[in-house]
Every structure is written in C-alpha cells, then in structure tokens.
Amino acid sequence: MTAPYAAPSSDRLARRLARYRAATPGPGAAGDPLPYRASASRDLARRLAAAVDGEMVDGADGVYVRVERPAIDLPVDRGRLATLPGQPPPDRSLVCLDTETTGLATAAGTLAFLIGLGWWSGTSYRQVQLLLPDQGEEGVLLDEVGRHLPPDAWLVTYNGRGFDWPLLVTRYRMMRRAAPAIGGHLDLLPHVRRLFRHRLDDARLGTVERMLLGVSRVDDVDGWEIPGRYLGFLRGGPAQPLAAVVRHNDEDVRSLARLLAHVEQHLGDPEVRSSAPRGDLAGLARAFRRERRLEEAIDCLDAALAADPAAERVLPLSARPIPEEPWWSPRGRVDFGGRPERRRVSTGWDRREAFSRPWDEGRIAVDRAHLLRRSGRVDEAIEAWDALACGPGRTAVVAAIEAAKLREHRSGDPAGAMAAVERGLHLADRRRARGMPEPALEADLRHRWRRLRDRLARAAA
Amino acid sequence: MRTYAPADAATVLGRVLEEPSLTRGIVHHEVIAAREASFADMPAWLDQRIVTGLAKRGIERLYTHQAEAIESIHAGEDVVVVTPTASGKTLCYSLPTLQAIAQDPAARALFLFPTKALGQDQVTEFGELAASADLSIITSTYDGDTPAPIRSTVRAAGQVVVTNPDMLHSAILPHHTKWFQLFEQLQLIVIDELHTYRGVFGSHVANVLRRLMRICAHYGSKPVIVCCSATIGNPAELAAMLTGRPARLVDRNGAPSGERHVLLVDPPVMEPASGARGSAVTLAQRWAMPFLRAGRQTIVFGRSRVAVELLLTGLRESLRESFGPRSRVRGYRGGYLPTERRSIERGLRDGEILGVVSTNALELGVDIGRLDVSILAGYPGSVAATWQQFGRAGRRQGTSVSVLVASGAPVDQYVIHHPEFLLDNAPEEARLDPDNLHVLLAHLRAATFELPFEPGEAFGPAPADDLLAFLAEEGHVRQAADGRWYWSSENFPASEISLRTAAPENVVIIDTTPNRPRVLGEVDLFSAQVLVHERAIYIHESVQYYVDRLEWHERKAYVHKIDVDHYTYANRAVTLKPLEVFAEAPSTGGTRKHGEVMVASLVTLFKKLKFMTDENVGWGPIDLPELELQTTAYWLTADRARDHWRRDDLDVALLGAGRAIQTIASVLLMVDPRDLGLVTQVRSPHAEEPTIYLYESVPGGIGLSERLWQRHDELLAGAADLIAACSCDAGCPACTGPRLEPNVDAKRLALRLLTELGAGARLAKAG
C-alpha cells in the first residue's frame, strides 16, 4: 500500500516565492548590489585576460586565461637539497603550486579560480598562471593543470597538504574525475615552522618573505579580500581588481622557489650551515632526528653551540602577542561548518609558549644530550647531562636524574649514579628553599636513592 | 497488601483492584488479548552465513513483518516498517544491510538516527549480529564526538556509517567529495524513528534528504530507503513527504505479545468547588508501589525533569519506610552522564534494576529489554507517544500492565474521558512541509554549494530555476554562461541552518547571575516579544529569572535569577490578514478555508499575576516593534451569525470555541498547543463574517493548516465534546479558556456556536 502524497503544485510554490520576495528587503542590504549580468564565457575571459595581462586560450571544450611570466634564474642544487630531511629525491621534477580560492573551507562549494604553477628547466624557474573566467569552464582549466603535473613530479606548496591540494582533488571529484597522480608532496609550511619559527612573527608566506628572504611586496592584496574580488567579477563587476590578485599569486609561487633555494643554500652544505643562526640549526637537528639521522642531528647541535650568538643577524620578533590560533596551525580544527566549537577551558599551561620558546644554549644542550643517548654515545651523554646538572634551574635537576639513569642502567656505575642522585636532591632542596619545589622530581629522586642505597649495600655485602 | 513475596503482574493487579483508594480513580480498564506469533521462513536468497549467525542468536524463523520488509528491500522497493516497540524492527534493515555487504564488500549503508545515543546502541547491536554471522563489517559512528583522526578512516572504509541528520547536513554533504567511496556504493539508507521527523525538524530533514539524493545521483548510486516508525496515523505518507518517494507500508505485526491491561486513571477531585484534582505524580507513585514490592520491573514516566526527580524521591522514600528494594529504583533523564545511563540500561536488561523513573528519554528505541509495568504520570502529549511509553512494558508471554494517570490539564482530561481516542488505535498524524519556503531556500543554498544545478533541475516538486534566480538576486548564486547555477559566495551555507529551528533569528537569553555569564537558551523572535521583554519574569526549568535588559537589535536578553511570588503575562495584539486562499469549501453555517496569511503582532503591556490565584498585582508598558509573520492558517467563518447573535455574546462564543478548537487541533495533529496561534474576529475586515483563525507560529507553516482544513468536522465535534464534558459550570481554562468577565456563560455560548457550525450532529450521535 502506498499513501497518496499530493505534492503541492509548483505554481503554489511560485506564488509563495513572489510574496516572499515582496516581503523580503531586496539585495543591497548585504552591501553588494551588483546585479547578475548574463555574459558569455568568452566575454568574461576576454575582459579577464585584458585586465591581468594574460592571453585567452580558446579551445574546443572551453576557454581559460593563461598568464605566462618571464623566467628567472634561480639555481637550486638538487643533490645538496636532497641531503636535507624531508626533501624530494634529486631525480624527481618539482612543480610549485599555489591556488587562490573563493573561501577557506575545502568543502564542495569552494572554487580554485587561480592556479599558479612554477617549475625549473635547468637553472631557470618558469611560471604560468591559469585563471578561470567562468564557473562553467572548470573542466578545461583542470585539464590544463593536469598537463603541468608529470605523474612522478613532486608538488611544492605552502600549506598545500591541508588546503590547496585537497581542494584541487575536490574539484576533480566534483567533475567525477580522478585527480592527477603525483610522485610526492613537499609542503614547506611544517619545514618553515620547524626551522625558522624562532625568528618569525608568524608562519605566513608574506612574513617568511619579509623576515627570511628579505623580499618586501609592494601593493599586495590581503588574503581576505581575494574571494570578494573574484566573485565581484563573476557577478559582472570589473576585472581590474584581479590584477593585484594575480600579482599576489605570482609572488607566492616565486617565493616557494626562493624559499627552497634559501634552504638549500643556507642549510644544505654542512660547512655553510655552521654559520647559520643557532635556532635554525636546532630546528634542523629536530628534523634530522625525526628521520633518525642522529649523527647529523648531533653535528647540527654541536655547530649551534659553537656559534657565537652575538654574531647572529636575526631580526627581532615583533612584540605583538601570539595570535590565538592562527589559520595555518596544525592544532586548529578543520572547519566543517556546523556549530562553532566551544572554547576549551584554559588549563593554565600554554602549549604555544612552550612551542615558541627561544632556542637558548640550555635548550639546545638538552636536545643534544638526549640525542647522544639515543645514538648510543653513552659516555658523551653522561658528560652532557653532568654539565647541565651544574647549570641553573629545574633543568639541572632533570639533568641529574638523566645522568643517574645512564650511570645506573647503561654504564653500570651505581656509585656514580648515587652521586648524581645526591647532587639532584641537593639541587631540589635548594629550589624548595627558594620556594620552587619540584615534588614529582623529588619523589623520583628519593625512590632512586633508596634503590641505589640497597643495591650498593648488597654489593658491599 | 504489604507483601514482598514475588508475584506475577496479573496477581499484583488483582490485589490492586481490590484496593478501593486506587480503584476509585479508574475511568477505564481495557484488556488487550495476547497475540500469537506468526512466522515466515527465511528467504532462500539470504546468505548462509547470515542464516547461521541468526540461528546462533536463537532466531530460526522470521516474523511475517520482518520477512515482508526484507523481501521488498531485496526487490529494490522503499519500505516503511511500522510495528510496536520491541517487535524486531531492527532486523528489518540489518539483515538487508548484512546481505548487501556479504554479496559485495564494497557496498555501503547509511543509518540515520535522530539522536547520538540511539545511534551508538544500534552500532553495538549491529556489530554483534555481524560477528555471529562471521562477517567482518566496519560499522562506524560519525557524529560530533568522532575524533578527527578517526574521521578520515570512517570516510574511506566505513561500510556502515551511523550518523544523525545534523551531521549529515553540516559535515557530510558539504564535504561529499571526501565521502565519494560512501556515495558511489551507497545501497541502503535507513531512517529509524521516522515519527520524530515532523514539524520544523522534519521539514528540514526532508530537505537534507533531497540534498542527499542529489549527491547520490551525482555519484551514480540509487539507494533503497528503509524507514522505521513507531505507530503513528500516517507512516507511509510521512515517509513519502520526508523522502519524496512512495514507500511500501509494512505494518502487519507478526511478533507475539502477552496479555496487556490498560488502565486510565483520573486523580480524585480534591476541591469540589474549583474542580481541582489531586496530583498525577502522587497517584502514579501509589500505583507503582505494589508492583515494585512484588518484584515486577516497572517504569514510571514523568513529564519533566522535575517530575522525574519528585517521583524518584517519593518512591524511594515510600520503599524505605516499608523496607522495600529502594536502591533498585533509579532515575533516568537528560543531564545524566552517558556512562550512568548505559549502566541503568544494562541493569534494566539483566533485571538488576527493578524500577526506573524516566522522562521521554526512554521512549525512543533505547534498548532496555521488556518490563512488566509502565505507568505514565500525565498524558505525554500524543497517542503515539502514549503507546511508545505503554509499550515499554510487555513481555512476549505473561501479563503486562500499562497505567495512564491524567493530570488536570485540558488535554489530559479530554483524553482520559475519551478512552476510544487512545484505544481505537488511530494515533495522530505527523505533519511536515518540505516546501516551507524559508526552509526550502536555506537548503537550496546548501544544495547549490554542494553541486551546481542544471537548468531545469528539480529540487522538490518543481524545477528550481525561479528560486535560484531569487537567490541570484541576493548574490549567493550565479547562473554561468553554460546555464548552470553555481554557488558564488564565500559563505558556508550549511553553517547558517540549524535543523531544529525554523526562524533563522533567535533571541539569545543570557544569565548574568554567575560570575561568567552563560547562555540559558534561545527563543524565536515571536515568542521573545512576550517571554523576555524587559521586566518580564522568564521561567526556565522551573527557575525564575528577571529580564534586566532586552537588546532587540542585538537579539540578546540579559536575565538574572530571582525568587518572586508572581509571573508576568504579556498581552499580544494580533491582527491577521489573509494573503491567498489555497482551498475553501462550504461547511455547516459557514465556510472553511486554508491559505497563506500575514500575522502582525504587537505587544504593548504586561501584567504581573500572582501564582495560584492569578491576582493582578501590577502592570508595565512594553516598547517593542511590531513583528510580522508570514505563515499559513486555517479559518472558519460563521456566516449570518451576526444576524441573530448579540455582538458581545458572539465575541465570547468565538473565543471560547476557538480555544477549544485549538486544544483539539493540537491533540489531533500531535503538536504543542503553542505551535498554533488563535485569532478571532467578530467582524473580520477581510472576511466580513465572524471568523476563527488558527495560524501556524512557524514562519511559512509546516502543513498543519491544510490538515486542519481537511479535518474540520472532527475539530468541531471534538471541541464541542471537550466543552460539554468539562466539569466546570460556565467555562474554565481547561475548555473555553480563562474567564475574562464574570457572569458570562462562555461554555453555553461556545457550545451554541459550535452547534450552529455543525458540531451538533456528532454530539447527538455520541450522546
């Protein structure tokens, strides 16, 4: 049995709409009074091409706009680059990619309307930008993007793992097509964060250019303005405001290459590297450690400790507070829409502070001591911890414990371990006396002390 | 009677019926005979592993309704299964799902539950069934609590995805490209607890399903839709309204049931003068005691959280006094921790817990096994919900007892004195309007965001081009040169829609009592006028708050806790103008119509009234702008009534009859009485004739008025019944509404009018 469900006639809906329209204040309240104007894609493409100084490519399946930029000479020693952690193998071609979009969500309704691509031929770096003149022409544009991506090439992006590439994959799927295959993906954002965070205000590409590469942009367009400019054009507005967007994207794609070259030139060669800021070296050590290349990591830290901090030419950080949770942060949740998340209750301990603590000598030395232990250089590790145990603060107590652990379990020296524990207890007492008790560390030390006492007593018996 | 010897429910009932203090209130005692099971064989095409798995769980044959549903789904037909609680509905969709995945591991299914908790129950149960069939099936819940790293696994590998409409709407559909594995292979969509998708929520969900079906078509899948519903009046129609496709109705229950006693109980009149009755809560408690003492598992339903706590305290207290098993009686309501709830559910299943006091939280399909006795302290608001709650008691063998204790509210009194209303097995219909323009347009935005519209492509009943052209004027949508309509805005439209409310604009109520102000709740603009105007007493979960400030343009009301002996009542002046008549027909003594109307509401002053006595202790002005509400309404005119009525009498009669019609309408259509507004006009500026309007308070309406128009005769007869049967002398809040003037017999006048309008025929028949 099926129920007779009589759908209301469509003209009732139409009449409802007419009344709704009459009752609703018209557009204009939203501040964007541009009326829709029908125009053929070719007209749009022609206007767009003229505004951004590009050419209209008119194919059988559709039309798009292409902007070719003069090639620049930008040599990168791929062999040397590949010695760094996380970098692509030297024999793979690289394609730098950056998109401009109509929004920040990688959901189905966000459009990539400008795709900037850059690649090397020899030492010259070439760039092309592909623009979408009308929403109906996306298929042709994506075809053209695919032609620039050889199947074994590595993508080079900035936050492209989380944004640009998934967005493009979404666009291909919207067309019911498979996204082009890629050989690998080098997202420079985590590298920048790991290596240069200590001397950047934030990790935006513009900041990286300014503070790291010494490039400053003139008349740049703010990221938040970009979607509005493009959507305005689509709705019949002027194409001229997009010229700045194209320049912005052009700079972004070039900066990807410059950043890669910067990393290769300043950090690729161990000799040159040793004169890098010690924070860079400490960050690089962590990158090496992630790949279990411990010896290289230790070398980096040795170089960092040997460097003269006074000689460093690092721009001072701006005094402004760290933004709450910047858009690129890996801790930020992806926006799925829906209800805004409830603010998490502060626990009083701010991870961001720990994250952006400066790389001072002590912090580098701690990293080095950990690495020495991990690489099995026990004696050196003990030496490093002993040195730290003579230093200031809570670190000294921790160092004493670490030194005791190594002596007891790795080098079979319970008496030495006992001495280290007693030194640790002494340090903890002093801290307690100064009103900075470390109950957890003290408990650990006391436990260790009792065990070592018994062990020594048994050995004596 | 003070005995703790275990006894079966029939024996205890027998003893109770000898207790005069309890039997005095019994208005009706119905015995529903036991039913035999009717079985069907396992379909031959069912995978052998599933047959074996079922056998391991003690299922050798299927009930007839299960077999019918499964065969239809197998044949690719949409199905709506409607059978009572605990009749094995779950199997109707879990077997086809298992079968689909057993045949092709790439197949996917999507299970939709109205709430998170229900979904989790089903995941467990489905997992157990799959395990006993030796099928390894990845069943994953995808809701707000799913951790981010798990989400990508669910997207790629979840064979059965369990979620709720809100998640589907805001997280899955807008990101459909990340879910392409699901959508390409989707074979089965299960919509459980269909009856909850009504009103505004249902209208939204109907549109979410439209969007879902578009996405499925994009990826080339053609899923079968299986709906499961509790008993309601129009399950097949509801399924068709919700999904936009006809469905085969499976409602011949094959599950066995034991004998059931249904008792309708009215608390005794305490004060004959005012007709005030004893408390339903106290009486429900007294009915529960003998069963608990005899070790019978009993569930008591309270109408509110407060009622639940009162009942629980009372029961434990009485059990303590009589040395009964008080620690085996537990409470259950929203606000309890999930782990606590799980342990109570488990305790009920294995018999560890003897009694539970619950809100309607346990009315939905949470698995608590079958109990012996269910007692309802107050009519839960609909016949369907009553049977859901009754159905919590009912073993497959042996006697079960269901008791409804009425409160003094008009609806309760009407229901309890019309047993045929509950027992004739004609529960209410669920209504929704997927073409409510506000709802439709909001979802059309989201749909365009998800996938561009082809020219001429339908969304709902008709091609969407006109609507899209309207959205294009707003600038969110744009028609490209290829003729398709594309989303062209930075906004994320799904985030602008909340499935649970109709009006996009709400006033947020902020409690400034604690050090850190917190959001207390939200009310729609229309209600905000009368509930949270400045200096109003706003009551939330029986706590009083004083409204310090209402920032109308900010849509914020600031309140603080207060304890006073009065409440406030704002006078709303409502004027109504018909915009279009969708249909009209002559009725006895006049005309009935339904159509679109414009309601203008102006609130100018409020009164302070004392609790209990309703004594007026002051007033104040309210300065708020007039609000307009475009909605649908049902109205009836009393032609020629002006000729032979005194104008004042007619005024009272219209209002009194209107109030009664409003009450009956809310009963018949299973809605909150506040969902329908009432306006009466002796001399309507538009209709010229004396008119009673019932308008829907949801902008655009959700289809209630059309249904009221169709059920005009029942409405009038019911209203006359309600008034005639009321025990008051000249009209009271329970029938014709609060008395405005003394010495006016509203009851007689309203009845006279209703008789003239044609209610008399049935009255005479019934009388």
Q: Within an 8 Å CB–CB cutoff, is residue A30 touching chain B? A: yes
- Are B472 and A107 inside 8 Å of each other by CB? no
For the segment B75-88, the average pLDDT, to the nearest whole number, is 87
Q: What is the domain partition of chain A in residue ranges?
A: 41-268, 380-461
Q: Which of B445, B490, B628 is the best substitution to test chain A (most A C-beta atoms within 10 A)?
A: B490
Alpha helices in A33-162 (DSSP H): 41-52, 78-82, 138-147
Pairing of strands B260-265, B400-405: parallel
Q: What is the pLDDT of residue A2?
A: 36
At position A444, the amino acid (one-letter code) is D
The closest CB to that of B481, out of A7, A14, A134, belongs to: A134
Q: Which residue of A has its CA nearest to B77?
A: A2
The closest CB to that of A30, out of B218, B441, B475, belongs to: B475
Distance, in Å, from the CA atom of B96 to the CA atom of B104, rounded to the nearest integer, reads 12
Q: What is the pLDDT of residue B72?
A: 96
Q: If DSSP codes are grouped into helix, strand and coil, which group holds residue B595?
A: strand
Strand partners, B635: B593, B693
- Are B490 and A102 inside 8 Å of each other by CB? yes
- What letter would DSSP give residue B325? -
For the segment B31-35, the average pLDDT, to the nearest whole number, is 88
Q: Compute the nearest-CA separation of B491 from chain A (Å).
A: 8
Q: Strands, E, within B86-194: which ranges?
A: 108-112, 139-141, 160-163, 186-191
Tell me which residues of chain B, numbers 564 to 583, contact chain A at a CB-CB cutoff of 8 Å: 579-580, 582
Q: In this structure, how many other beta carbons lie within 10 angstroms of the beta carbon of residue B184? A: 15
Q: Which residues of B touch A105 (CB under 8 A)?
A: 174, 492
CB A166 within 8 Å of CB B177: no
Q: What is the pLDDT of residue A279?
A: 85
Exposure class string for B304-326: b at 16+ Cβ within 10 A, else e: ebebbebbbebbbebbeeeebeb
Note the pLDDT tens digit of each residue in B309-365: 888 888 888 888 776 677 788 888 766 666 777 888 888 888 888 899 988 777 766
Q: Within an 8 Å CB–CB cutoff, is residue A39 touching chain B? A: yes
Residue that has been written with the tokens 């649970």 in this structure: B500
Q: If DSSP codes are grouped into helix, strand and coil, which group holds residue A412?
A: coil
Q: What is the pLDDT of residue B210?
A: 96
Distance, in Å, from the CA atom of B476 to the CA atom of A242, rounded to the nearest integer, reads 20
Alpha helices in B410-474 (DSSP H): 410-416, 419-423, 437-450, 465-474
- Are B176 and A106 inside 8 Å of each other by CB? no
At position A377, the amino acid (one-letter code) is R
Q: Which of B28, B423, B427 is nearest to B263 (CA)?
A: B28
Percent of chain B with pLDDT strictly greater than 90: 29
Dig out the tokens for A186 from the structure: 């080098």
Q: What is the pLDDT of residue A311?
A: 56
- The enclosing H or E element of A57 equals strand A55-58
Q: Which of A19, A346, A233 is nearest to B629 (CA)?
A: A19
- Are B466 and A234 inside 8 Å of each other by CB? no
- The enclosing H or E element of A426 equals helix A414-433
What are the angstrom distances between the C-alpha of B403 and each of B124, B265, B290, B363, B376?
32, 7, 13, 15, 6
Note the pLDDT tens digit of each residue in B375-434: 999 888 777 788 888 888 887 778 899 999 988 776 787 788 878 878 875 677 788 888
Phi, psi of B47 (to 5 degrees): -55, 135
Tell me which residues of chain B, numbers 169 to 208, contact chain A at a CB-CB cutoff of 8 Å: 170-171, 174-178, 180
Q: What is the pLDDT of residue B343?
A: 84
Q: Compute the nearest-CA separation of A303 from chain B (Å).
A: 38
- Are A337 and B479 inside 8 Å of each other by CB? no
- The enclosing H or E element of A115 equals strand A112-121
Q: Which residue of A has its CA nearest to B596?
A: A16
Please tell me the pTM assigned to this model: 0.81
Q: What is the pLDDT of residue B385?
A: 82
pLDDT over 90 at B575, yes or no: no
Q: Which of B259, B261, B258, B263 is nearest to B403 (CA)?
A: B263
**Number of helices and strands in chain A (H, E):** 18, 7
Q: What is the pLDDT of residue A31?
A: 39
- Are A40 and B481 inside 8 Å of each other by CB? yes
pLDDT tens string for chain A (461 positions)? 333 334 444 566 777 777 766 665 544 334 343 444 445 888 899 999 999 999 999 877 889 999 998 999 999 999 999 999 989 999 999 999 999 999 887 889 999 999 999 999 999 999 999 999 999 999 999 999 999 999 899 999 999 998 999 999 999 999 988 899 999 999 999 999 888 888 877 778 888 888 888 888 888 888 888 999 999 999 889 999 999 999 999 999 999 999 999 999 989 888 888 888 888 899 899 999 999 999 999 999 998 888 766 655 555 555 444 444 444 444 444 444 333 344 433 333 344 444 456 777 888 889 999 999 999 899 999 999 999 998 888 889 999 999 999 999 998 899 999 999 999 999 999 998 988 888 889 999 999 999 999 999 998 88
Tell me which residues of chain B, numbers 488 to 507, contact chain A at a CB-CB cutoff of 8 Å: 488-495
Note the pLDDT tens digit of each residue in B478-529: 998 888 999 998 888 888 787 776 555 778 888 888 877 877 777 778 778 8
- What letter would DSSP give residue A269? S
pLDDT averaged over every residue in chain B: 85
**ipTM, 2 decimals?**
0.80
At position A389, the amino acid (one-letter code) is A
Size of interface A-B (CB pairs under 8 A): 166
Q: Compute the nearest-CA separation of A192 from chain B (Å).
A: 24
Q: What is the pLDDT of residue B232?
A: 80
Note the pLDDT tens digit of each residue in B224-237: 999 998 878 889 99
At position B174, the amino acid (one-letter code) is P
Greatest mean pLDDT range, A1-5, B99-103, B528-532: B99-103
Q: Strands, E, within B192-313: which ranges?
A: 224-229, 248-250, 260-265, 269-271, 276-277, 298-301
CB B488 within 8 Å of CB B448: no
- Are B475 and A10 inside 8 Å of each other by CB? no
Tell me which residues of chain A, numbers 146 to 205, contact chain B at a CB-CB cutoff of 8 Å: 166, 169-170, 173-174, 176
Q: Which residues of B touch A2 (CB under 8 A)?
A: 236, 240, 246-249
- List all residues 6 or more positions away from B427 whose beta carbon is below 8 Å from its beta carbon: B231, B232, B233, B382, B383, B384, B387, B670
Residue that has been written with the tokens 């979410």 in this structure: B208
**Homologous superfamily of A41-268:** Ribonuclease H-like superfamily/Ribonuclease H (3.30.420.10)
Q: Compute the nearest-CA separation of A157 from chain B (Å).
A: 21
Q: Which of A249, A308, A283, A272 is nearest to A100 (CA)?
A: A249
pLDDT over 90 at B62, yes or no: yes
Note the pLDDT tens digit of each residue in B244-300: 999 999 988 888 888 899 999 988 877 655 556 778 888 999 999 989 888 889 999
Q: What is the pLDDT of residue A327?
A: 45
Distance, in Å, from the CA atom of B241 to the CA atom of B194, rounded to the nearest integer, reads 11
